[in-house]
Amino acid sequence: MKKKSCDAVVDQILAHYEHRPSALIAVMQDVQAQYRYLPAEAIEQIAEGLGISVAKAYSVATFYENFSLEAKGKHIIRICDGTACHVRRSIPILEALRRELGVSEKKKTTDDMLFTLETVSCLGACGLAPVMTLDDKVHPAMTPEKALALIDEIRKEESADA
């Protein structure tokens, strides 16, 4: 059987946790940190390496909202649509970002894999509503204009790094 591309990375992570089944979540977190999602072949390798069923590995990966089975962009944007943010107009921010990035409710990641746009039920910063996070940094009192300015800033940084 031909080795898959993530084998060495996953093997190293499994070895770090001494192949302990109790380390399943930690292993998945480390693998996701490497790839920005959990590739199917990595989940299978994790299950085999920990001596658990693939079904159990998938059940954990799909139970926790933090895990993703789909590839995500380099920069993760989360728009809060909880009650406080919704009332303070988070939807126009979401719509402006979707238009700018060319994404939708179903297609969350840009074609260039630079951005992933997600909505969340609550970011726990209701007093700062409407709130957006960009790579886990909280941006309070957000407006569509401020959100688009942040996107432009990231794009400029990315093109300067290229």
Structure tokens at 66: 């933090």
Rounded Cα–Cα distance for residues 23 and 34 (Å) = 17
Write out the H or E segment, with its range, that includes residue 139. Answer: strand 137-139
Structure tokens at 23: 């380390």
Rounded Cα–Cα distance for residues 93 and 114 (Å) = 19
Q: What superfamily does domain 75-161 belong to in CATH?
A: Glutaredoxin (3.40.30.10)
> Tens place of pLDDT for every residue, the chain, 162 residues?
344 456 899 999 999 999 999 999 999 999 999 998 999 999 999 999 999 999 999 999 999 878 999 999 999 999 999 999 999 999 999 999 999 999 999 999 999 999 999 999 998 899 999 999 999 899 999 999 999 999 999 999 998 886
Q: Structure pTM?
A: 0.77
Report pLDDT for 27. Answer: 97
Residue span(s) of the chain under CATH 3.40.30.10 come to 75-161
DSSP-assigned states of every residue in 76-88? EEEEE-SHHHHHT
* CATH architecture of the region 7-63: Orthogonal Bundle (1.10)
Rounded Cα–Cα distance for residues 124 and 115 (Å) = 22
Residue span(s) of the chain under CATH 1.10.10 come to 7-63
Best CA proximity match to 5, nearest among 34, 48, 27, 33:
34
Report pLDDT for 36. Answer: 87
